[in-house]
Amino acid sequence: MKKVPKALQLFLKLAISCAFFSMLLSFVRGNELVTVFSNISWPFFGISFAVTLIMLMVSCAKWKIILDLKTKQLGYWELFKIYLIGSFFSNILPSTVGGDVVRSYYAGKTIENQSYAAVSVFVERFSGIVFLFILVAIAPLFRIELYANPYFLVPACAGLAGAACILWIWKARSPFNIPNKLAEGFFAILRKISEKRWCKGLARPTTFVENLYRKSIERLKKLRIEMQIAVDAIKQDARFLSRLTLLTVLFYLLTWVNVYTAFSAFHVKVDFLAICAVVPAIMLVAHVPVTLLGNLGYVESVFVFYFLIVGVGGAESLAMGLLLRLKMLSLGGLGFISYLVYRQKHRLPPVKEEFTTL
């Protein structure tokens, strides 16, 4: 396993961010972006910020009901401060320590149960991902012609496949037996071919893919264990699942409102049903971690690309995406203040990590 210096990894991600922003500017002609920014609706601008804050509050409420299955030691506003600190680490600090790790650490310190704190963060995030898989598959029904576009059809199929895989891993008695047998046969064939004199170059790629597969299987096995822990916790409260589902649905409804109000802040009128159809695919595609600071540059590029498909101008979509970025950075700024004033005994310890690659 070859170690990659942390500084080099950060530099590469920064370079990728700059490349995405250069590409973004190619979608904007002349002073279009300046014109859009000069046409701000201040009431909608304020409403847009309020919607983002409400989204964070809903996510925090979902996290609290999960923690409350084991302990009611943490009050809502205490958790809200921790959530803000997580936003700081996720959206502002170019760190290898993610916001979820920080939230788990602080909550675990308070309830004196790091393992359940980690489970609570996992359930909060995982429930959202499962719902996103389903939503990205059905959301184009709001504009059914979008299924003919591969940039919507492929994410929709990926969403269905992701949901099916999760169901299989959860319900199957031995979910990894069949994939392991198929993989062993495939790698055996590749190794045999790489032994041929004219195919020696296949040996290293074969080893790389085999190691990657084994690492992926280990992560999926860990996911299965975490899912079972989550299911056992859910069984303790019959009403819990309905409340978790309600808050998850509310969060995704707010993501649509969030984009709509961000467009409205620049007097850009976009059909709300088009937003409903497009945003889930954007959220899925934008999850790929390729740049720094909450995928700076990449997320905005995805927004511009997808909204161009439904007829929204590049300058308008870029302005909307930049406003969403500003709102997340503002939450991160509030998180930084919370981090500075949070109780010293619960401060995050120094973390030394290095990026690695196979």
- pLDDT tens for each residue of 62-79: 999 988 888 777 889 999
**Rg for the chain, CA atoms, rounded:** 22
- Half-sphere exposure (Cβ direction) of 297: Cα atoms closer than 13 Å: 17
Neighbours of 224 (CB within 10 A): 16
Contact between residue 159 and residue 287 where contact means Cβ atoms under 8 Å apart: no
Determine contact, residues 24/304, Cβ cutoff 8 Å.
yes
* Residue 1 confidence (pLDDT): 42
Q: Which residues pair with 4 in a beta bridge?
A: 355
Structure tokens at 115: 């393992």
- What average pLDDT score do residues 191-200 get? 77
Bridge partner list, 357: 2
Q: What CA–CA distance (Å, rounded) separates 130 from 111?
A: 27
CB 244 within 8 Å of CB 62: yes
**Residue 351 confidence (pLDDT) above 70:** no
Q: Distance (Å, rounded) from C-alpha 210 to C-alpha 219? A: 14
For residue 87, give the nearest of 76, 99, 95 by alpha carbon. Answer: 99
User: Which residue reads 């004196």 in tokens?
Assistant: 112
Closest CA to 283 of 55, 92, 22, 47: 55
Domain ranges for the chain, please list them.
33-172+222-353
Task: Tell me the percentage of the chain whose pLDDT exceeds 70.
Answer: 85
d(CA 327, CA 329): 5
Reference 251, options 104, 4, 65, 119; nearest CA is 65
| pLDDT tops 60 at residue 357 | no
Q: What is the mean pLDDT of the chain?
A: 84
Question: Residue range 202-227: average pLDDT?
Answer: 83
Q: How far apart are CA 261 and CA 40, in angstroms?
A: 12
pTM higher than the cut 0.85: no
